[in-house]
């Protein structure tokens, strides 16, 4: 077994390219980036998330917040991609936290990640149900409950997730290209017409920060990037992952950041800097569709409304794949049932894990329907906010893990990559966490509700820590194997 005190590497688990593992699909940078960008759901975020962010935050500075988030995540990616080449496990955040901070924080990160991405899966899928119901009512004049289409969506996702990942990649790629072109045409239409009151850089000016809630604005901006860690989650299915994962990570962050900053700026100037938050509060679901109709044409708005469904669907499919692979990785580590770590002999996919992820999403949606929660105001807003908080916490922990990992490993790395960039990223992410927590009551609508939702986020992390402690006492062999990440071993001294 490799001694990391000498090499600084956690050896590749089964599934690494070239090992003959059935998960090895030879995915390249474009395919992985497609899945990451699909998780970002460009049209879904711009038409659904951005108006909600403008309405809740009361700030027209969302383009600035996206630009700021891009810079912060590029700094974070310095340490993240460095770890990706050393900790060769598909667990991404959880695997890196475990390698750098130890087994107990690592398993805590794993359960927090599973909880957060499951919330996203269910919350965004509710939006799919609402969007589908609205389209059918508009064009067929037939009313239908949102939850019916939400269950239909989950059924299709269960079918795709059970099968070859390349099928999902092709579906996501087609949807991504169509929705991105749709938004770019709208952006160019707004720019060509000079916006509502002329083109201005005011939405990108630091002076606009004082308008509205900075915390909620930054939180929603970070929400637009959620899923970029999939570059590491899909490493077992990647071609030459030590090269593919870092490239795909930087490409994904840059593309998401530039595209969103420009598009959200176009939305703000298209409506008008002084009136955009009021318009978003009056009609968040129709804001962007009305912009498309005004600047491009009614046909374009109709096509956009149809593709809004496929955009959010692609987002749910991407999150489903992330949850599936987290469960798969944890199963291989021995902390989840072994059946979740089985690869389907024909589909060459973690099909059992996919089926469990689908079942959890079905049951969670059933509970939500039974409680009578509003699919957008409650489910989508609350779940996305809670998940964003959880994932930013994971990123902050990962930054600390990078420093801890290379402090113990006898491997020379530049101070910028192994210490300075991760430390700067941690401080920035800790600031985002504080802003999010401070403004959570505004998102939820009450301090009590914020405590409840925040409590669930905390509880999900505590569950993992408790499980690790139980394993250490009752199943020491499994606990010891956690740090192995299948066949290698983390730095000495990590408990």
Distance CA 345, CA 97 (A): 31
Contact 62, 220 (CB under 8 A): yes
Confidence of residue 488 (pLDDT cuts 50, 70, 90): very low
pLDDT of amino acid 28? 66
Residue of higher predicted confidence among 445 and 98: 98
The answer, as to whether pTM is greater than 0.85, is no
Q: Are 482 and 106 in contact (CB under 8 A)?
A: yes
**Cα gap 393→434, rounded to integer Å:** 10
Bridge partners (DSSP) listed for residue 238: 27
Beta bridge mates, 151: none
pLDDT of 167: 62
Q: Is 166 exposed, middle or buried (0-12, 13-18, 19+ CB in 10 A)?
A: middle
pLDDT at site 53: 87
334 Rama class: left (phi>0) / alpha (psi -120 to 50) / beta: left
- Distance of alpha carbon 441 from its chain centroid, rounded? 22
Tens digits of per-residue pLDDT, 156-215?
Answer: 999 887 776 666 666 667 777 888 889 999 999 999 999 999 999 999 988 887 778 888
Least confident of 49-63, 89-103, 477-491: 477-491
- Please answer whether residues 217 and 53 qualify as being in contact, where contact means their C-beta atoms are separated by less than 8 angstroms: yes
Task: Tell me the per-residue pLDDT of 108-146, one tens digit each, with 9 for 90 and over.
Answer: 999 999 999 999 999 989 989 998 998 999 888 888 999
Greatest CA span in the chain, whole angstroms? 68
Which comes out higher in pLDDT, residue 78 or 235? 78
- Over residues 69-90, the pLDDT tens digits come to 999 999 999 999 888 777 766 5
50, with CB counted inside 10 A (0-12, 13-18, 19+), is: buried
**Distance between CA 201 and CA 87 in Å, rounded?**
42
């Amino acid at each position: 077994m490799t001694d990391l005190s000498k090499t600084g590497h956690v050896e590749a688990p089964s599934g690494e390219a070239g090992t003959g593992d059935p998960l090895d699909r030879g995915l390249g940078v474009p395919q992985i980036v497609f899945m990451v960008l699909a998780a970002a759901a460009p049209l879904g975020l711009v038409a659904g998330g951005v108006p909600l962010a403008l309405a809740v935050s009361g700030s027209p500075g969302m383009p600035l917040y996206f630009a700021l988030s891009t810079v912060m995540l590029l700094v974070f990616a310095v340490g993240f991609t460095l770890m990706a080449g050393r900790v060769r496990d598909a667990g991404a955040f959880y695997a890196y936290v475990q390698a750098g901070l130890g087994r107990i924080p690592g398993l805590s990160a794993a359960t927090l990640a599973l909880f957060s991405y499951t919330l996203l899966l269910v919350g965004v899928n509710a939006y799919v149900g609402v969007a589908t119901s609205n389209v059918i009512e508009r064009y067929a004049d037939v009313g239908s409950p949102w939850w019916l289409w939400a269950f239909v969506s989950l059924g299709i996702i269960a079918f795709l997730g059970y099968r070859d990942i390349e099928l999902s990649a092709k579906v996501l790629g087609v949807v991504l290209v169509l929705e991105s072109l749709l938004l770019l045409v709208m952006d160019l239409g707004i720019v060509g017409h000079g916006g509502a009151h002329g083109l201005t850089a005011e939405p990108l000016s630091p002076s606009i920060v004082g308008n509205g809630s900075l915390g909620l604005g930054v939180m929603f901006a970070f929400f637009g990037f959620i899923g970029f860690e999939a570059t590491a989650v899909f490493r077992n299915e990647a071609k030459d992952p030590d090269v593919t994962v870092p490239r795909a990570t930087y490409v994904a962050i840059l593309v998401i950041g530039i595209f969103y900053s420009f598009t959200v700026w176009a939305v703000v100037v298209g409506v008008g800097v002084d009136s955009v938050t009021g318009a978003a509060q009056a009609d968040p679901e129709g804001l962007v569709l009305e912009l498309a109709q005004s600047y491009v044409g009614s046909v374009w708005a109709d096509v956009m409304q149809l593709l809004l469904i496929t955009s959010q669907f692609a987002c749910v499919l991407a999150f489903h794949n992330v949850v599936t692979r987290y469960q798969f990785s944890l199963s291989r580590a021995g902390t989840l049932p072994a059946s979740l770590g089985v690869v389907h002999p024909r589909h060459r996919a973690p099909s059992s894990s996919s089926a469990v992820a689908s079942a959890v999403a079905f049951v969670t949606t059933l509970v939500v329907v039974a409680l009578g929660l509003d699919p957008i105001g409650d489910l989508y807003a609350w779940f996305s906010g809670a998940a964003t908080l959880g994932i930013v916490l994971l990123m902050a922990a990962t930054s600390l893990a990078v420093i801890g990992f290379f402090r113990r490993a006898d491997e020379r790395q530049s101070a910028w990559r192994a210490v300075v960039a991760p430390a700067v990223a941690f401080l920035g992410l800790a600031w985002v966490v504080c802003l999010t927590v401070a403004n959570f009551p505004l998102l939820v609508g009450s301090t009590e509700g914020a405590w409840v939702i925040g409590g669930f986020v905390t509880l999900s992390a505590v569950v993992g820590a408790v499980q690790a402690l139980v394993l250490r006492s009752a199943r020491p062999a499994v606990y010891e194997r956690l740090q192995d990440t299948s066949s290698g071993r983390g730095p000495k001294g990590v408990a």
